[in-house]
Amino acid sequence: MNYELVSGFETHVELSTKTKIFCGCTTQFGGDPNTHCCPICIGLPGTLPKLNEQVVHYAIMAGLATNCEIANVAKMDRKNYCYPDLPKAYQISQFDMPLCKNGYVELSNGRKIRILRIHIEEDAGKLIHQQGNTYIDYNRGGVPLIEIVSEPDIRTVEEAKEYVEKLQLIMRYIGVSDCKMQEGSMRCDVNISVRPKGSEELGTRTEIKNMNSITFIAKAMEYEFERQVSVVESGGKVVQETLRYDEASDTTSSMRGKEDAHDYRYFREPDLVTINVLDSLIEEIRESLPELPFVKLQRYIDELGIPETDAQLLTKYRKIAEYFEDSIKGTQNPRTAANFILGQIFKRLENESAKEEFDIKTTADQLREMILLIESGKVKMNLAKSTLEKMLDTGKAFGELVSESDMAGLSDEALIELCKQAVSENPNAVADYKAGKEKALKSILGTVMKNSRGKADANMAEAKLKELLS
């Protein structure tokens, strides 16, 4: 029998507020253990929380960016459970009246992954297990979260990966979170069940907790799918439980029985007032949202003529997209800037984090000035490429590194002399070319370009070399 994967996600996103959700403590990542907390964070008797207004605004932004309905009235609730990282023995969250509901994220295959709700809550502390002991760091306690709860609409591991990647991209674009999974600012609880293909009935689900890597999410889902299929086919029953994923063994194991809402004894948080959201505020926030990445992607393809693969890379990182758009203002061909960014500049950005930060010395204005010189015919492409490397090293503008005489190029006589010099310096390549190896000409041409310090026109130099060697 063939089985189908059914999966839904509960995605926790730490918000980029400067202070925590109910107090004035910093949300800065790191710091010595238990130095970013106060009596409110750790729930000492007599303390009272006060809701951070920016948390509400960020949650509304997230809801609007994921096509949600925004509630005019919402409230905070107590979710009761006893665990060492939660010193109050309850978490302030939202239960039956969340801020956002009934949204969706559309995948590249056209399927919409429905979002049941987005609610705000406080993060818990962190347990650190060392040499048989357990230590508690409450620095993370009280950091504001939104929890994005999807419907069980995901049917493949590839869809799951794309869903998480799109959520991450949207949240980064609108500026509500850096979504650094390696730092825990975006974490996923993955709910999985299996059923015979064609069946409409949902199977018993398990939940894999606290996944903070898209790669490991995929591996954990693949393993859990196969495990559940094996259980069903052997005549057993899948048990509803909470699992952890072990990266070393690539397996899941049980943590505890899966809780339902009634297990948490939700009730209204008595120390916080009702949240009232005016329609005028919702519209104000809607107007403040930037162009979303998928809209931007289509515009780059349709209006700017950027190939889809290149457009995907340019729109994947908000800072790079902004840099690209600043660099093409007033230019004729946006692909020139795209090629410089995705070629020479990307080579200097070693990883995803570096691309996200996009901290380079050359400004968009400096790149645009160079492109305008290329389009005016004053600068050859090879000279621009070699000079851009120096610009990226020094932060200097093109005009500070290249003189008017350098921009003027070479006379025919000077070019011929350089070609003759290159021929004499590459006897082996000359022999190979004359023997029919066309690629050998590139080696000789490289010498011309090097000796001219990029001033030679590559096409003209190649033509001159062919004349000399014919």
164 and 188 part of one domain: yes
Which percentage of the chain shows pLDDT scores above 70?
97
Count of C-beta atoms within a 10 Å radius of residue 270: 7
Q: How high is the pLDDT of residue 260?
A: 64
364 and 449 part of one domain: no
Q: How high is the pLDDT of residue 1?
A: 79
Instruction: Name the nearest CA neighbour of 204 among 229, 186, 182.
Output: 229
Contact 71, 277 (CB under 8 A): yes
Count of C-beta atoms within a 10 Å radius of residue 267: 12
Q: How far is the C-alpha of 327 from the C-alpha of 334, rounded, in Å? A: 9
416 and 402 part of one domain: no
pLDDT at 124 over 90: yes
- Which neighbouring-strand residues pair with 246? 251
Last residue of a domain, one of 284, 318, 334: 284
258 pLDDT band, cuts 50/70/90, is low
259 pLDDT band, cuts 50/70/90, is low
Structural domain count of the chain = 3
Instruction: Name the nearest CA neighbour of 135 among 184, 91, 196, 85.
Output: 85
Structure tokens at 196: 């015979």
Q: How high is the pLDDT of residue 261?
A: 57
pLDDT at 37 over 60: yes
Q: How far is the C-alpha of 312 from the C-alpha of 103, rounded, in Å? A: 24
Q: pLDDT of 46-69, one tens digit each?
A: 999 999 999 999 999 999 999 999
Q: How high is the pLDDT of residue 434?
A: 81
In three-state secondary structure terms, 266 is coil
pLDDT at 264 over 90: no
Amino acid at 445: L
Residue with the bigger pLDDT between 75 and 249: it is 75
CA atoms within 13 A on the CB side of 80: 8
8 and 132 part of one domain: yes
pLDDT at 320 over 80: yes
Domain containing residue 425? 412-469
Q: Strands 241-246 and 251-257: what pairing? A: antiparallel
Amino acid at 293: P
Q: How high is the pLDDT of residue 169?
A: 95
204 and 85 part of one domain: yes
Overall size of the chain counted in residues: 470
Structure tokens at 286: 């809607």
Q: How far is the C-alpha of 314 from the C-alpha of 323, rounded, in Å? A: 9
Instruction: Name which of 175-179, 214-218, 448-452 the model is least confident about.
Output: 448-452
Residue with the bigger pLDDT between 400 and 149: it is 149
> Under 8 Å CB-to-CB from 192, ≥6 apart: which residues?
5, 6, 7, 205, 206, 207, 208, 221, 224, 225, 228
396 and 417 part of one domain: no
Structure tokens at 378: 């004053």
pLDDT at 468 over 80: yes
Taking all residues of the chain, what is their mean pLDDT, rounded to a whole number? 92
Residue with the bigger pLDDT between 17 and 198: it is 17
Q: Output the CA–CA distances (angstroms, integers) from residue 206 to 9, 79, 252, 263, in the order listed.
A: 12, 21, 10, 16
pLDDT at 39 over 90: yes
Q: How far is the C-alpha of 314 from the C-alpha of 300, rounded, in Å? A: 9
Mean per-residue pLDDT, 116-123: 97
> Under 8 Å CB-to-CB from 317, ≥6 apart: which residues?
355, 356, 358
295 and 344 part of one domain: yes
437 and 394 part of one domain: no
Instruction: Name which of 6-20, 234-248, 430-444 the model is least confident about.
Output: 430-444
Count of C-beta atoms within a 10 Å radius of residue 346: 14
Contact 211, 247 (CB under 8 A): no
- Which neighbouring-strand residues pair with 86? none
The residue written with tokens 């370009």 in the block is: 449
CA atoms within 13 A on the CB side of 146: 31
Q: How high is the pLDDT of residue 409?
A: 62
Contact 210, 242 (CB under 8 A): no
404 pLDDT band, cuts 50/70/90, is low
Last residue of a domain, one of 229, 264, 284: 284
Q: How high is the pLDDT of residue 262?
A: 65
Q: Strands 241-246 and 206-211: what pairing? A: parallel
Structure tokens at 216: 């490991």
Mean per-residue pLDDT, 86-95: 94
pLDDT at 219 over 90: yes
Last residue of a domain, one of 256, 284, 312: 284
Q: How high is the pLDDT of residue 448?
A: 84
Strands (E) located in 166-272 = 186-196, 206-211, 241-246, 251-257, 267-268
401 and 430 part of one domain: no
94 pLDDT band, cuts 50/70/90, is very high
227 and 278 part of one domain: yes
- CB-count burial class (<10 Å; 0-12, 13-18, 19+) for 62: buried
- CB-count burial class (<10 Å; 0-12, 13-18, 19+) for 413: exposed
The residue written with tokens 């994947």 in the block is: 316
Amino acid at 41: C
Instruction: Name the nearest CA neighbour of 157 among 229, 231, 214.
Output: 214
406 pLDDT band, cuts 50/70/90, is low
Chain-centroid distance of CA 182 in Å reads 12
Q: How high is the pLDDT of residue 458?
A: 78
Quick one: CA dihedral 356, 357, 360, 366, positive or negative?
Answer: positive
Count of C-beta atoms within a 10 Å radius of residue 244: 15
Q: How high is the pLDDT of residue 469?
A: 83
Q: pLDDT of 166-211, one tens digit each?
A: 999 999 999 999 999 988 899 999 999 999 998 889 999 999 998 9
Count of C-beta atoms within a 10 Å radius of residue 165: 12
Contact 95, 132 (CB under 8 A): no
Residue with the bigger pLDDT between 263 and 346: it is 346
106 and 60 part of one domain: yes
112 and 191 part of one domain: yes
Q: pLDDT of 324-357, one tens digit each?
A: 999 999 999 999 999 999 999 999 998 888 998 8
In three-state secondary structure terms, 141 is coil
Instruction: Name the nearest CA neighbour of 341 among 351, 354, 327, 352.
Output: 327
Domain with residue 462: its CATH number is: 1.10.10.410
H helix and E strand count, the chain: 18, 16
